């Protein structure tokens, strides 16, 4: 009886038909291709250029042009870098200071120990026993002694200078009972500046002057944060550096001797004001450049504002036209057991993957959709296969296969189709079958 009724219903044309992928459709041949990594790579090689956003989305209002003449902005001024830096150790080399040689500006003393007759012979040069007389070394390296004349001692050690004065006195038949010493060391010096108590010029004399001696003479360090401070020494075109923390931890670093012409600067990464004062000559150049740039920026302000408004208007207009579907777009279509049968607009400027399309629209219903039967239908013309249709088959029953979906690039007019679960087909067929069967039975009764 049930069979008879089923046949009767079938005879009435009541059947359930679900969509599926077949190898032939309306005369077109369908090539079903498993979606493997090899096929993904081959499919992705098909030529495709995504649509681009209008230029207004890539431009900015500050074109570096002046509002009046179109000339470029002046170069940005130099300012010292105040970012934190890793301070490396470049210690002063171990050198032996050379013997002191008398130079221009030094003051030498002649002290006599001779008898009164010798004092009379020097006519006031050595005025009395044990009296000391100072002489400044002149620009040509000489000192002038009354009644004797000039004696060239520039560039000589103290001993060499004493010997030369001795020879001069002997040649003038004067008893050379005297001693020579340097009273003021003015020809050789080192400078100390930066984060110290006071910028100082430290004379280099007969005794060795160490880096620690020079810093002490300048009033010591005035560093707020030792972590970012360093002592830098410029010597003969080379810059040496000792981080302050290392200098305090290793006192031997401060024992390095200074030489004539050394420039010592205590620098801090964040003590910008001191650095600017120390390099005042550079700041003068900066000030002139800033004045020029300030004038140019004033002229640009109105022009930049106008251009920014124009760009904003163009972008807003494009977004409005897009919302009204008045702009050309490229779409992928989702059908079958997806949560939302719809079209997916391909993005501007880059490609979208199969995973992007599926999960941007909420994925698919795993209760009704068959994860082993996910297809991407593509016009064979993309692959050079004429009128054929390519059906890329993704078997995602093993979720690992979804990795291929993240790599597979979509093309315009692709159709993503997910087939029903077999049980879903039966359930839907029965849902349609039983009401008709009951109606037929009622009618027959």
The pLDDT of residue 69 is 45
The pLDDT of residue 331 is 92
Report the Cα 412 to chain-centroid distance in Å: 40
H/E run at residue 419: strand 415-420
Q: Which tokens is 11 given?
A: 């005879």
Alpha-carbon span 410 to 378, nearest angstrom = 9
The pLDDT of residue 101 is 92
Contact by Cβ (8 Å): 353, 410: yes
DSSP-assigned states of every residue in 271-328: -HHHHHHHTHHHHHHHHHHHHHHHHHHHHHHHHHHHHHHHHHHHHHHHHHHHHTT-S-
Nearest CA to 404 out of 370, 354, 351, 363 is that of 354
Phi and psi torsions of 356, nearest 5°:
-60, -45
Phi and psi torsions of 391, nearest 5°:
-115, 100
pLDDT of the chain, 445 residues: tens digit per residue: 444 444 444 445 556 566 667 655 566 788 888 999 999 999 888 888 898 888 877 766 655 544 444 444 445 544 445 455 567 888 888 888 889 899 998 999 887 655 443 334 444 444 433 445 688 999 888 988 877 888 898 889 888 988 888 888 888 877 677 788 888 888 888 999 988 989 999 998 888 899 999 999 999 988 877 877 889 898 888 889 899 888 888 888 888 899 988 899 998 765 444 544 554 555 565 566 677 777 767 766 777 778 888 888 888 888 888 888 888 899 999 988 888 888 899 999 889 998 888 888 677 777 778 888 899 988 876 666 667 888 899 988 888 888 998 999 999 999 999 888 776 666 666 666 666 666 666 776 6
The pLDDT of residue 368 is 79
The pLDDT of residue 425 is 64
The pLDDT of residue 441 is 65
Alpha-carbon span 310 to 306, nearest angstrom = 6
DSSP-assigned states of every residue in 139-170: TTSEEEETTTEEEE-TT--HHHHHHHHHHHHH
Alpha-carbon span 332 to 392, nearest angstrom = 14
Residues 6+ apart with CB under 8 A from 44: 407, 408, 409
The pLDDT of residue 116 is 42
H/E run at residue 5: helix 2-11
Phi and psi torsions of 351, nearest 5°:
-90, 165
Sheet strands (E) in 154-237: 178-184, 189-194, 200-203, 229-235
For the question of whether the overall pTM of this predicted structure is more than 0.85, the answer is no
The pLDDT of residue 408 is 94
The pLDDT of residue 336 is 84
The pLDDT of residue 180 is 85
Residue 438 Ramachandran class (φ > 0 left, ψ -120 to 50 alpha, else beta):
alpha
Residues 6+ apart with CB under 8 A from 292: 74
The pLDDT of residue 30 is 84
Alpha-carbon span 355 to 362, nearest angstrom = 11
H/E run at residue 331: strand 331-336
Q: Which tokens is 170 given?
A: 């002997």
Positive or negative torsion for Cα 294, 299, 300, 304: positive
**Alpha helices (H) along 324-421:** 354-360, 402-407
Report helix angle 2-11 to 422-444, nearest 10. Answer: 100
Distances (CA, A) of 216 to 219, 248, 290, 303, 382: 5, 13, 38, 57, 81
As a whole number of Å, the end-to-end CA separation of the chain is 13
Nearest CA to 390 out of 42, 47, 31, 34 is that of 31
The pLDDT of residue 165 is 87
Nearest CA to 339 out of 358, 364, 359, 356 is that of 364
């Amino acid at each position: 009886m049930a069979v008879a009724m089923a046949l009767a219903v079938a005879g009435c044309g009541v059947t359930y038909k679900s969509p599926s992928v077949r190898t032939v459709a309306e005369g077109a041949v369908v090539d079903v291709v498993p979606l493997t990594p090899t096929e993904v790579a081959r499919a992705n090689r098909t030529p495709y250029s995504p649509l681009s956003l209008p230029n207004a989305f890539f431009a900015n209002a500050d074109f570096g042009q002046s509002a009046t003449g179109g000339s470029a902005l002046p170069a940005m001024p130099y300012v010292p870098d105040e970012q934190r830096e890793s301070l490396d150790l470049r210690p002063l080399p171990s050198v032996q200071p050379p013997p002191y040689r008398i130079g221009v500006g030094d003051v030498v003393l002649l002290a006599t120990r001779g008898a009164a007759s010798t004092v009379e012979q020097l006519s006031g040069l050595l005025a009395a026993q044990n009296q000391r007389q100072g002489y400044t070394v002149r620009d040509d390296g000489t000192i002038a002694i009354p009644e004797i004349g000039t004696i060239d001692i520039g560039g000589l050690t103290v001993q060499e200078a004493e010997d030369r004065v001795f020879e001069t006195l002997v040649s003038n038949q004067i008893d050379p009972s005297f001693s020579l010493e340097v009273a003021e060391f003015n020809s050789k010096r080192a400078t100390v500046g930066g984060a110290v108590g006071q910028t100082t010029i430290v004379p280099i004399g007969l005794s060795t002057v160490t880096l620690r001696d020079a810093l002490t003479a300048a009033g010591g360090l005035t560093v707020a944060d030792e972590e970012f401070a360093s002592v830098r020494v410029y010597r003969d075109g080379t810059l040496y550096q000792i981080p302050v923390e290392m200098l305090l931890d290793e006192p031997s670093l401060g024992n390095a001797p200074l030489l004539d012409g050394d420039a010592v600067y205590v620098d801090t990464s964040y003590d910008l004001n001191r650095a600017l004062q120390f390099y005042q000559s550079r700041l003068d150049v900066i000030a002139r450049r800033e004045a020029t740039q300030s004038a140019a920026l004033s002229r640009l302000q109105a022009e930049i504002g106008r251009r920014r408004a124009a760009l904003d208007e163009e972008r807003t207009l494009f977004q409005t036209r897009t919302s009204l579907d008045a702009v050309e777009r490229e779409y992928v279509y989702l059908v079958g057991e997806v949560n939302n049968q719809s079209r997916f607009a391909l993005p501007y400027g880059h490609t979208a993957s199969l995973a992007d399309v599926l999960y941007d629209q909420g994925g698919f219903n795993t209760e009704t959709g068959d994860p082993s039967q996910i297809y991407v239908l593509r016009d064979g013309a993309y692959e050079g296969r004429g009128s054929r249709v390519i059906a890329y088959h993704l078997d995602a029953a093993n979720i690992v296969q979804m990795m291929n979906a993240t790599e597979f690039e979509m093309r315009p007019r692709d159709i993503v189709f997910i087939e029903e679960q077999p049980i879903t087909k039966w359930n839907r067929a029965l849902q349609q079958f039983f009401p008709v069967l009951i109606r037929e039975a009622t009618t027959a009764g």
